[in-house]
Structure 1
Amino acid sequence: MAAPLRYALISLLWAAMALIYLPLLPTLGQLVQPAFSLADWQTLLQDTQLPQALLATLVSTLIAVGGALLIALSVVAALWLSQRWQRLASQLPLLLAVPHVAFVTAALLLFAEGGWLFHLFPTLTPFIDRYGIGLGLTLAFKESVFLLWTLYALLSGKRLTQQSLVLRAQGYGRWQILAWLVLPQLMPQLRIVLLATTAWTLSAVDVAIILGPGNPPTLAVLAWQWLSQGDAQQQTQGTLACLLLLLILAAMVLAARLVWWLFRRNIPDFQGVRDPASHALVGRTFAWLLPLSGLFCVLTLALLSRPDGVEVTSLFNSLWLALSASLLAAMLSLLWLEYGPKRFTAWIWFPLVLPALPLVAGQYQLALWSWQDGEALTVLWGHLLWVVPWTLFILHPAWHRLDPRMLLVARTLGWGQWRCFWVVKCPLLLRPVLGAVAVGFSVSIAQYLPTVWLGAGRITTLTTDAVALSSGGSTTLLATQALWQLLLPGLFFGAIALLLRLTGHYRQGLR
């Protein structure tokens, strides 16, 4: 590519990334402005809903993140280095394709008062969940799939496998190997995933509206309600509540680092007492329950829905937004990896490790300033703030695993940077790119807050309809919207898998 064209492409790339990440600036300004007002903090702390909302948020988040980590580690301890581990790994993409809203909607229809469980067993009485325990348990199951998917990628190293086999041969048990060998090596890569899971769970609004405590709700829902009001004082309370979510996240990170430091200090050497007992029953049970939970989700929604109950406009909006966001994110991510900076890029991951609510508030502020709220392209722009970093998260490891010798050969043939990128790198990255597009599609389908606020109620999707119906709408319509929200990413993942299979068939000679 000629130098002027390359510079124009790089400038366009930087402009696109700056436009997508621009809400970080008003978000910072909105959080800082009321943070130094003692009167505003006193008004927030005197609100009677705050203590219960804060307690429900802490309980649900700790159960969700801690439970997800415990489930994932128990499955790894029970199944890793076995054929069943490979079979479970092949099922993880299908479980990942189940959106959170569809999953918690199925849990609501099964376990809530008036659900299937209490119809089958009328003597049972549902307990009043004021602390978000049900929300935490449901999210623990859902998030454990994401952690297992990450662990599967991290556990593919040959050196770690050989070390584990040597320790197994010496009589050490599965949990000893996991705690003393596997976790210390994986935690540097796993901590960003745990941080992203914690940040998302803290600021989850859609699933908390569907399943969480209602009055008072979690802190994220309470902040969303305040920010949606026209009163300036309540909007200030919502902003301070967002800042409080950030402080809670920082406190959880510090507590986790302290726990990990204490854990590392107590790791013994490999000359101690061996515990060869497998202790694999819990992990095997969870490995059986996770696919079964996805199956129950599909069956519950399918049995309660009706074919003509879907809103065609919402279905079309969900489809074109997800397709556009995933394809645009894949193109931008590839160009960013090729032409973007190699250092000082930590800001790219901010949408993954920060609570979503203040970021959406920043997006909404920009949309109001530019008179672009309620536009379809504005909603697409809002989705990209999360689809782009998730796409980069998928592509980044694959990009750095490219064999540099191939590029060296291409360079010796006189090929320029653009030709090496288009002819060598892109074909080698076809499978990761298709996987990243599928993940981006699912992330876009699941977006609730950007769609509600930036769409100004005029751009509806399957997710917004499902959340709206969960507060008192028809059970049949709710199941129908949630089922189609599940089917869209499921069908798209299936199409991507078929395309990958065809690609592998026609490229067998390259193996």
Structure 2
Amino acid sequence: MAAPLRYALTGLLWAAMGLIYLPLLPAAVQLLTPAFSPGNWQSLFSDPQLWQATLATLISTLTAVFGALIIAFCVVAALWPSRGWQRLAVRLPLMLAVPHVAFASAALLLFAEGGWLFRQFPQLTPPIDRYGIGLGLTLAVKESVFLLWAMYALLGEKRLAEQSLTLRSQGYGRWQCLAWIILPQLLPQLRVVLLATTAWTLSAVDVALILGPGNPPTLAVLAWQWLSQGNEQQQALGALVCLLLLFLLATLMLLAHLLWRLFRTQIPDFGGVRHSRAFALPGIALSGLLSLSGLLCVVTLALLADGEMATTDNIAASLWLGLASASIGVVLCLLWLEFGAKRFTAWVWLPLVLPALPLAAGQYQLALLSFQDGEWLTVLWGHLLWVVPWMLFILQPAWQRLDPRLTTIARTLGWSRWRGFWLMKCPLLLRPLLAALAVGFSVSIAQYLPTVWLSAGRIATLTTEAVALSSGGSTPMLAAEALWQLLLPGMIFLAVALMLRIVGHYRQGLR
């Protein structure tokens, strides 16, 4: 590629990435401006909802994160390495395709007051959940699939399998192997994944609106309600709650670091009592539960939909936004990996490790200032702030594993950088490329806050309609909207799996 053309392409790439990540700046300004007023803090701390909302947020977040870790590690201890682990790994992408809103809607229709369970057994009384325990348990099951998916990539290291096999051959049990071999090497590599899980759980608005608690709600819902008001004082309180969410995230990460250091001091020197007959039933049962949870979600929504059909406009809007954002995202990610900066790029991952609420508020401020709210392209731009980093999260490890000697050979044969990128690197990345497309589509389908705020109520998707119906509406219509929100990503993942199978049939090296 000629130097002027490469410089122009690099400039356009930086401009596109800057436009997508521009909301980080107004989000920071909107958060910090009210923080310098002591009166705002006094009003926030005197609000009667704050402390109950904070307690519910902490309980639901800790339940979700620690519950997901316990489920994931129980499954790893029971199944890895075995054929059962490989069978579970094959099903993980389909379980990941289940959106949070669809999963939460199924849980609501099953276990909430007036749900299927309590209609079948009227003598049972649903407990009053003021602390978000149900929210935390639901998210724990859903997020454990994401953690297992990340662990599957890390547990493929041959050295780790050899160490575990050596320890097991000496008579130590599977739980000792988990505590002494797997955890010390796995947890440091899961830092970003755990940080992203905690940040998302803290700021989850859509799932918290569906599952509660209701009054007072979690901090994320409280901030969303205040930021949506036209009153300047309430908007300032909403910004302060977003800062409080960031403080809670930093505090939880600090506590996790201290617990990790304490755990490291307790790791024994592989001498002592052997527990070779470890109890594997919990892990096997949990793996079966995870496999059935997605199927149970589909069956529940299909039965309760009772033949109702989701609104065609909502399906078309969700499908268009998902396909457009995934297509734009994959082009930007590939160009960024090839022509983007190689250092000082930590800002690319900020949407994954920061609560989504202040970022969506920053997008809304820019849309209002530019008079672009309510436009399709504005909503698409809002989705890209989360679609692009998630697709990069899929593509970057595969990109880094490419052998640099291939590029050297291509250059010695006279290939230009662009030709090597297009004819050599892209075909080698076909599997992660298709996986990134499916993940980008699923992430776009799940976006609630950017769609609600940037569309100004003019564009409805399956996600926004399902959340709206969850607060009171037709049960069959809620089930139908949630079912289609689940089916669209599922069909994309199945199409990707079929394409990979076809490609693997004709290209043996990609199997």
- Deviation at residue 270 of structure 1 after TM alignment: 1.7
Alignment of 1:267 onto 2:291? no
| Residue matched to 2:375 | 375
Q: Partners of 2:176 and 2:18 in 1: how far apart?
A: 47
Structure 1 CA distance, aligned partners of 2:307 and 2:503? 34
* Partner deviation per Cα, 1:165-210 (whole Å, 9 max, x = no partner): 1111011111111111111112222010000000000000000000
Query: What per-residue deviation string (whole Å, max 9, x for no partner) do you get for residues 387-426 of structure 1?
Result: 0000000001100111222222212211121111111100
Partner of 2:184: 184
Q: Which residue is equivalent to 2:418? A: 418
The whole-number CA distance in structure 1 between the counterparts of 2:62 and 2:302 is: 32
Question: Aligned with 1:309: secondary structure?
Answer: coil
The runs of 5 or more residues in structure 1 that have no matched partner are: none
Partner residue, 2:93:
93
* 1:458 equivalent in structure 2: 458
Matches within 5 A, 1:220-231: 220-231=220-231
**Does the 8 Å contact 2:504/2:510 carry over to 1?**
no
Residue 301 of structure 2 aligns with an amino acid whose one-letter code is: L
Matched, 1:305 2:332: no
Shift of 1:277: 2.1
Q: How many residues align?
A: 511
Aligned partner of 1:467 in structure 2 is 467
> How far apart, CA to CA, are the structure 1 residues paired with 2:503 and 2:442?
22
- Equivalence for 1:217: 217
How do residues 13-412 of structure 1 correspond to structure 2 at under 5 angstroms?
Answer: 13-412=13-412
- Which whole-Å CA distance do the structure 1 matches of 2:265 and 2:343 have between them? 32
* Post-superposition offset of 1:34: 1.1
- Aligned counterparts of 2:404 and 2:144: Cα–Cα separation in 1: 35
CA distance in 2, matches of 1:62, 1:133: 10
Between 1:44-53 and 1:112-121, the stretch displaced more is: 112-121
Shift of the alpha carbon at 1:214? 0.6
Q: Secondary structure at the match of 1:130?
A: coil
Aligned residues with identical type, % of pairs: 72
Give CA-to-partner distance per residue, 1:417-449, whole Å, 9 cap, x none: 111111110000000000000000000000000
Question: In 2 relative to 1, CA 121–510 (structure 1 residues): closer, same or farther, beyond 3 Å?
Answer: closer
Instruction: Work out the CA distance in 1 between the residues paired with 2:416 and 2:272.
Output: 57
* Cα distance change, pair 509–64 in 1 and its aligned pair in 2 (3 A): closer
Question: Does residue 442 of the first structure (1) align with residue 430 of the second (2)?
Answer: no
Letter in 1 for 2:238: G
After TM superposition, give the deviation of residue 269 of structure 1 in Å. 1.2
Which residue type is aligned with residue 134 of structure 1? Answer: G
How far residue 509 of structure 1 moved from its aligned partner, in angstroms, is 6.3
- TM-score w.r.t. length of structure 2: 0.99
Counterpart residue number, 1:430: 430
Q: Which amino acid aligns with 1:281?
A: L
**CA 292–510 in structure 1, closer or farther in 2 if over 3 Å, else same:** closer
Q: What is the alpha-carbon distance in structure 2 between the residues aligned to residue 479 and residue 468 of structure 1?
A: 12
| Offset at residue 305 of structure 1 (A) | 1.0
Deviation at 1:274, TM superposition (A): 2.0
User: Could you tell me how far apart the structure 1 residues matched to 2:259 and 2:272 are?
Assistant: 23
Task: Give, in whole Å, the separation in 1 of the partners of 2:53 and 2:510.
Answer: 57
Secondary structure (helix, strand or coil) at the match of 1:327 reads helix
Q: 1:27 is paired with a residue of what secondary structure?
A: helix
Call closer, same or farther: CA 1:64–1:509 in 2, change over 3 Å: closer
Q: Deviations over 1:228-253 (max 9, x none)?
A: 00100000000000000000000000
Shift of 1:355: 0.2
CA 510–19 in structure 1, closer or farther in 2 if over 3 Å, else same: closer
Distance (whole Å) between structure 2 residues aligned to residue 509 and residue 52 of structure 1? 56
- SS of 2:34's equivalent in the other structure is coil
1:142-164 Cα distance to aligned partner (Å, 9 max, x none): 00000000000110011111111
Distance 1:247 1:337 in 2: 32
Counterparts of 1:308 and 1:75, CA distance in 2? 37
For 1:178 and 1:417, the matched residues in 2 are separated by 45
**Distance in 1 between residues matched to 2:336 and 2:272, nearest whole Å:** 49
SS in structure 2 at match of 1:48: coil
Give the whole-Å Cα distance in 2 for the aligned partners of 1:165 and 1:405.
34
How far apart are residue 217 of structure 1 and its match?
Answer: 0.6
- The answer (yes or no) to whether the contact 2:64–2:143 under 8 Å persists in 1 is yes
Match of 1:477 in 2: 477
Q: Which amino acid aligns with 1:146?
A: F
Partner amino acid for 2:95? L
Shift of 1:468: 0.3
Residue 489 of structure 2 corresponds to 489
- Render the CA deviation track for 1:102-132: whole Å, top value 9, x for unaligned: 0010000000111111122121110000000
- Post-superposition Cα deviations, 1:16-57, rounded to whole Å, max 9, x if no partner, equal 000000000111111111112111001000000111111110
Residue pair 2:310, 2:484 contacting (<8 A) in 1 also: yes
